[in-house]
Structure 1
Amino acid sequence: MSTPPRQIRLAAHFPGVNSTTVWSDPAAGSQIDFASFRHLAETAERGRFDFFFLAEGLRLREHQGKIFDLDVVGRPDTLTVLAALAAVTTHLGLAGTLSATFNEPYELARQLASLDHLSAGRAAWNVVTSSDAFTGENFRRGGYLDHADRYERAAAFVRTARELWDSPFDSAADPDGGVGAFRHHDRFFDIEGEFSVPRSPQGHPVVIQAGDSEQGREFAAAAADIVFSRHGALAEAQAFYSDVKARLTRHGRTPEELLIMPGVTFVLGDTAEEAAERATRIRYQQVSGPGAISFLEQVWGRDLSGYDPDGPLPDVDPDPGNTAITRGRVRHTRDPLAVARRWREIAEAGKLSIRDLIVEVTARQTFVGTPGQVADALQEHVSAGACDGFILVPHLTPGGLDEFVDKVVPLLQERGALRAEYAGATLRENLGLPPVPGRAAAEGVS
């Protein structure tokens, strides 16, 4: 008897702050109209996806002191949108990106527990950190938090939230305690009182984490239910998967207790050639001429507005000390001089312009091909130990997922790799995650 294929977990990503959504396409819609959120969520539920994943930015990002007009420039509050979506969906999980730096445990735990009740057990929290003082200016504490402290505070925040979610359960078993009584004291939080929301349907909302550093990986192994990974290529995804899963045992956890789901893109065509041509066209829509110059300036740390995006790379070297040219965006480049040397080699070898180079070196579409080829590739990644599923990031809002659900999902369902119907009542059940125990386990970052 043949072994049944591993089940693929799927999520739909509604982008928050990025310059990859193609707003110039005639099919593009609003990123703030509720109809857009509803369309993507209903499409994902029709495809039997596990959850809808809402990204968020807490400040409009600036480049050269101005809002970059090809970027997403804001939208309504995450929890408000997810609460509205709870009323128009029945099984789809509702995941929101919410900062552990610029929120407080009692308030956020209460909001997430409320969403879990309103949705009958479908809430999820993507825990993010921020040590960006520019973003912090929007908040009372400003940019007080040192970079080195951000994961410590996040770990303490998650521990505290779990204690709050457990407090109605624990207090019910303690006749001397109040209803939902809690007390928590550590370096970051000194709070006590009574939690005002009853134990929610999942016990704890599902916790998602996206960090890739050593601290981030350890935090995920200790505290997360899902990792939102950036590793989509097969070999690097396998290495990441193996590394993070191996860390679970020292936190008393099994591999089944943590799902790894990379963010991926897709482009479909009737033939492989058509899909490849379409993928190239989309990439050049995503990377406009001004966008290419802007991206280069982030690495060069210089004003390059006088350069032609269809011309060669600047002959001047980067200024490594100028990190403030872009604000509100994570700076991944640690050694801009080394990056510039590598990019010059790539551009010279391929005779590439600035725009060609940025298209070449920035993230490409992960899965490109016919619906059958894309379905094959998705199954290969899961069966080869590269991931447990995928968070799909469409390039169009709100209809960018329609083609995948219409053409790829039926193939996966026919092969038995994707559910035909939801089996569970809660997001945790549908993901196959173990139920939450009566009391929160001790968690931390080692």
Structure 2
Amino acid sequence: MTQRTKQIHLAAHFPGVNNTTVWSDPRSRSHIDFSSFAALARTAERGLFDFFFLAEGLRLREHKGRIHDLDVVGRPESLTVLTALAAVTERLGLAGTVNATFNEPFELARRFASLDHLSAGRAAWNVVTTSDAFTGENFRRGGYLDRADRYTRAAEFLATARELWDSWSPEGRPRPFAHRGQHFSIEGEFPVERSPQGHPVVIQAGDSPEGREFAASAADVIFTRHGTPEAGREFYADVKGRLAKYGRSADDLKIMPGVTFVLGDTAAEAQEKATEIRRAQVSPQNAILALEQVWGVDLSAYDPDGPLPDIDPDPRSQLVQGRVKIGDPLAVADKWRALSEAKGLSIRQTVIETTARQSFIGTPDQVAADLTESVRTDAADGFILVPHLTPGGLDDFVDKVVPLLQERGAYRTDYEGTTLRSHLGLREPVWKG
């Protein structure tokens, strides 16, 4: 009997807080108008993607006291956009990033249950946390949580939301709920009956040991970032290996890295286009901004085409606020210097090489082959595609790569179910009555 090719899962990311979009390209359109969201979502649905993914920021990032150049100012709130998209799509999953640090379980559980009903079972929640006081200033509670505390709060937050979703039986019978815990003490009656999926799909994005453990214990999908297939396989084996102690199987969690792609008629053409795109994404100005994020000091006097600074970073700096730190500044600086010296790279070239996502570059046939091989060798279960153009950046992939994946038997030729759980091959959660 011929073994069935492992199936690829695909999703589409609409960038917001990003260094992906090539804003200078005349084909780049609004990141605010609903028509852009609708166009990208419809393309993803035409390509039979599992879901459409929206990120979210709770405060505009600042650099030297000014709004960061790469932030989208005026971006609509994610769940509002997804609810509108439910009316212009039929099968595509709708995934929104919403913070568990500065929200409350009852309200968020109600909003996601509502989206799941309005979309007939296509809602997903990307659970994220925030640890910085800069973001906390936008909220009444203010302040911030220590790194360990934000994950314990997120775990209790998600468990509480699931208690609320389970307060209605599958037959439509409600019952009062009561939760007593370290972070939440609530009781009452949940006003929204059990949703079509039982629970909306839960996505988690985190690569730390705490994040990996949280994903293994509670998530349905993990959105990650790895630059090589080798790193992807290490992450895949590690996280999947944590599932058994929570009574879960490997199929209960899908691992989907965020990736980019560049297509060309020849491999050389695709590589040339990829180089042009990366140079457009990392302008001389943005190269210095990226450098200052690590060093924490004003480096505007440095030449982007010159060598990296020979001074050490300031780990206590508040030069950049509201942006996730790349890592330990001293360790990152040492790594960048070693790479720069080994390859003779300038500041801009170093930033280009160190800040890129994993990318699939080549002819449509080569990209289809590489995607299939990555999933076959357990570097991932699928991919969240981050196009460099919005909203038309997925068109070539859907038109040229998807048919080749289908010919290889690695991708669906039609949606087999109606809910996001069915697209992902996830079981409906057992009702805990």
Q: 5+ residue gaps in structure 2?
A: none
Partner of residue 72, structure 1 = 72
Aligned partners of 2:322, 2:269: CA distance in 1, in Å? Answer: 37
CA offsets, 1:73-100, max 9 Å, x none? 3410111000000000000000000000
Q: 5+ residue gaps in structure 1?
A: 174-178, 441-446
> Aligned-pair distance for 1:339?
2.9
Aligned partners of 2:302, 2:209: CA distance in 1, in Å? Answer: 38
With over 3 angstroms needed to count, the CA separation of the structure-2 counterparts of 1:377 and 1:315, relative to structure 1, is same
* SS of equivalent residue, structure 2 residue 277: helix
Structure 2 counterpart of 1:343, from 312, 315, 336 = 336
Partner of residue 399, structure 1 = 392
Aligned partners of 1:37, 1:180: CA distance in 2, in Å? Answer: 38
Partner of residue 300, structure 1 = 295
Task: Look up the equivalent residue of 2:218 and give its one-letter code.
Answer: A
Structure 1 counterpart of 2:425, from 414, 432, 436 = 432
**2:315 paired with 1:327:** no
> Aligned-pair distance for 1:244?
0.6
Aligned partners of 1:113, 1:345: CA distance in 2, in Å? Answer: 50
Matches within 5 A, 1:84-123: 84-123=84-123
Deviates more, 1:357-366 or 1:372-381: 357-366
Aligned partners of 1:185, 1:363: CA distance in 2, in Å? Answer: 44
Task: Look up the equivalent residue of 1:66 and give its one-letter code.
Answer: R
> Aligned-pair distance for 1:147?
2.4
Output the TM-score relative to the length of structure 1: 0.94
Partner of residue 128, structure 1 = 128
Partner of residue 45, structure 2 = 45
CA contact (8 A) 2:375 2:381 kept: yes
> Aligned-pair distance for 1:338?
3.5
> Aligned-pair distance for 1:170?
8.1
Deviates more, 1:98-107 or 1:342-351: 342-351
Partner of residue 406, structure 2 = 413
Partner of residue 443, structure 1 = none
Aligned partners of 2:394, 2:68: CA distance in 1, in Å? Answer: 26
Partner of residue 444, structure 1 = none
Matches within 5 A, 1:201-240: 201-240=196-235
Task: Look up the equivalent residue of 2:265 and give its one-letter code.
Answer: D
Structure 2 counterpart of 1:378, from 371, 376, 382 = 371
Output the TM-score relative to the length of structure 2: 0.97
Q: CA RMSD in A?
A: 1.5
Aligned partners of 1:341, 1:93: CA distance in 2, in Å? Answer: 42
> Aligned-pair distance for 1:232?
4.6
Aligned partners of 2:349, 2:128: CA distance in 1, in Å? Answer: 32
* SS of equivalent residue, structure 1 residue 401: helix
Aligned partners of 2:76, 2:221: CA distance in 1, in Å? Answer: 25
Partner of residue 184, structure 2 = 189
> Aligned-pair distance for 1:385?
1.1
Task: Look up the equivalent residue of 2:327 and give its one-letter code.
Answer: T
> Aligned-pair distance for 1:349?
3.2
Aligned partners of 1:393, 1:233: CA distance in 2, in Å? Answer: 16
CA contact (8 A) 1:6 1:382 kept: yes
Structure 2 counterpart of 1:272, from 264, 267, 271 = 267
**2:354 paired with 1:352:** no
Identity of aligned residues (%): 68
> Aligned-pair distance for 1:172?
6.1
CA contact (8 A) 1:232 1:262 kept: no
Alignment size in residue pairs: 433
Aligned partners of 2:103, 2:355: CA distance in 1, in Å? Answer: 32
Structure 1 counterpart of 2:251, from 256, 266, 269 = 256
CA contact (8 A) 2:260 2:386 kept: yes
Aligned partners of 1:352, 1:74: CA distance in 2, in Å? Answer: 36
